[in-house]
């Protein structure tokens, strides 16, 4: 039998609703870390290892119709190899010129000799020829990196679609290769 709509009746219903909501919130908050962290929980590596697209976040924007700006944001505790970095524009698009890669941190590898690595933010300007304002192109970046905890990833390809802006209108927006992960309660 339904409770009569007295002020006391409503107050009691609302407090039960609050308890119910609190119980659900508690259960979800307990499992959220488990579900979120699942997938990299193999023994030998704490804290959890990031997938390469998050360890080496790739994004790009067009500065003007003749120049792209590619960016890697390398997470703390990870690094990329300079000599494994490649950029390419998808066939049928404008031509990509020479990518001037900045110098990296140099270290000596006993098998490969001197190698250079990148940590933190890496920004590379890429010249484009034959592109027109408004034209969209797909920029692909191949990279290979490792984590300080002692693992290396295979070469990873990431790509973004970028539209060339009109001349004189300034840079276009930044396009991320991997979407930002949203938390449960954003």
Does 111 bind other proteins (CB under 8 A)? Our answer is: yes
Using CB under 8 A, which of 82, 124, 153, 172 touches other proteins?
Answer: 153
Does 38 bind other proteins (CB under 8 A)? Our answer is: yes
Query: For other proteins, which stretch binds (CB under 8 A), given 25-33, 62-70, 128-136, 161-169?
Result: 25-33
Output the CA torsion sign for 67, 70, 156, 182: negative
Beta bridge partners of 71: 59, 123
Nearest C-alpha neighbor of 121 from the set 57, 49, 51: 57
Q: Give the number of residues written for the chain.
A: 186
Least distance (Å) between residue 21 CB and other proteins:
8
Compute the radius of gyration of the chain from its Cα atoms: 24
Query: For other proteins, which stretch binds (CB under 8 A), given 26-34, 59-67, 98-106, 118-126?
Result: 26-34
Query: For other proteins, which stretch binds (CB under 8 A), given 11-19, 59-67, 93-101, 178-186?
Result: 11-19
Beta bridge partners of 108: 114
Cα 88 to Cα 53, 82, 118, 138, 140: the distances in Å are 18, 16, 20, 8, 5
Does 146 bind other proteins (CB under 8 A)? Our answer is: yes
Main-chain phi, psi angles of 174, to 5 degrees? -75, 135
Least distance (Å) between residue 177 CB and other proteins:
17
Using CB under 8 A, which of 105, 123, 152, 166 touches other proteins?
Answer: 152
Using CB under 8 A, which of 15, 40, 129, 169 touches other proteins?
Answer: 40
Question: Rounded to an integer, what is the distance from CA 68 to the centroid of its chain?
Answer: 18
Q: Residue 151 and residue 7: Cα distance in Å, rounded?
A: 63
Residues that bind other proteins (CB under 8 A): 12-13, 16, 20, 23-24, 27-28, 30-31, 34-35, 38-45, 49, 51-52, 81, 84, 109, 111-112, 144, 146-147, 149-154
């Amino acid at each position: 039998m339904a409770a009569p709509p007295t002020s006391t009746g409503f107050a009691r219903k609302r407090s039960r609703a609050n308890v119910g909501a609190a119980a659900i919130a508690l259960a979800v908050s307990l499992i959220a870390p488990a579900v979120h962290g699942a997938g990299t929980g193999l023994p030998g590596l704490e804290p959890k290892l990031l997938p390469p697209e998050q360890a080496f976040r790739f994004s790009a924007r067009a500065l003007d119709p003749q120049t792209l700006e590619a960016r890697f944001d390398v997470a703390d505790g990870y690094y990329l190899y300079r000599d494994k970095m490649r950029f390419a524009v998808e066939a049928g698009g404008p031509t990509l010129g020479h990518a001037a890669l900045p110098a990296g941190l140099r270290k000596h590898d006993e098998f490969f000799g001197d190698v250079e690595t990148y940590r933190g933010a890496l920004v590379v300007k890429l010249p484009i020829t034959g592109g027109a304002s408004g034209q969209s192109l797909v920029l692909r970046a191949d990279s290979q990196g490792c984590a300080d905890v002692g693992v290396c990833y295979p070469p990873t390809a990431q790509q973004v679609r970028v539209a060339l802006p009109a001349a004189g209108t300034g840079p276009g927006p930044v396009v991320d290769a991997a979407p930002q992960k949203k938390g449960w309660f954003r």
